[in-house]
Homo-oligomer: A and B are copies of this chain.
């Protein structure tokens, strides 16, 4: 049998290691996180880590691939859509993705350029595709800056920026989601707001 209930501990170790590793990669950087440290934190030996994952790189890949795949899906949809809902969908998707995959986003967005790994190259390619699309359709520099500040700022707020707040004053995820949607909408959706032709 072993159709159910059995793998209670089965997949757990690998997932646990993946989770601890992602935390470490996001908070201390990929280069700054040793397999030994990750193993210690998870309560395993370094050999165990390398039993479940062929290499440090494979561990990183397993940890951030889902986030990258989801980001690629969001991007594809954005590039396909042409309707008026286009940007609204992007804002919603991005906020949801950021909240669900903070650590992973922190890794491939902030450390991405410095890591020479296939999985990171794939993530960078996706980010670059988004940047190129934005650069194409928004000719003014201020418009491009708005986009970069919005996405980079949102990512910063949920990852690195978090450590600068007082712990007892951290808003809940629900509050954050709504506030982020509000702010990103202001920045990215030129709804009948006060931005005449000032740019460019």
CA distance A127 to B109 in the complex (A): 21
What B residues does A135 contact at CB under 8 A?
165-166, 169
* Interface residue SS majority, chain A: helix
Q: Which of B146, B165, B166, B178 contacts A183 (CB 8 A)?
A: B146
Q: Please tell me if the beta carbons of A114 and B28 are within 8 angstroms of each other in the complex.
A: yes
Q: Which of B31, B155, B183 contacts A29 (CB 8 A)?
A: B31
What B residues does A31 contact at CB under 8 A?
28-29, 31-32
Copies, count: 2
Decide if A153 is an interface residue (CB 8 Å cutoff): yes
CA distance A114 to B8 in the complex (A): 34
The smallest C-beta distance from A158 to any residue of chain B, in angstroms, reads 9
CA distance A149 to B146 in the complex (A): 11
Decide if A164 is an interface residue (CB 8 Å cutoff): yes
Please provide the chain A residues from 71 to 129 with a CB less than 8 Å away from any CB of chain B in the complex: 109-114, 124, 127-128
9 examples of A-B residue contacts, CB within 8 angstroms: A113-B164, A128-B164, A141-B171, A141-B178, A144-B179, A146-B183, A148-B157, A152-B156, A155-B156
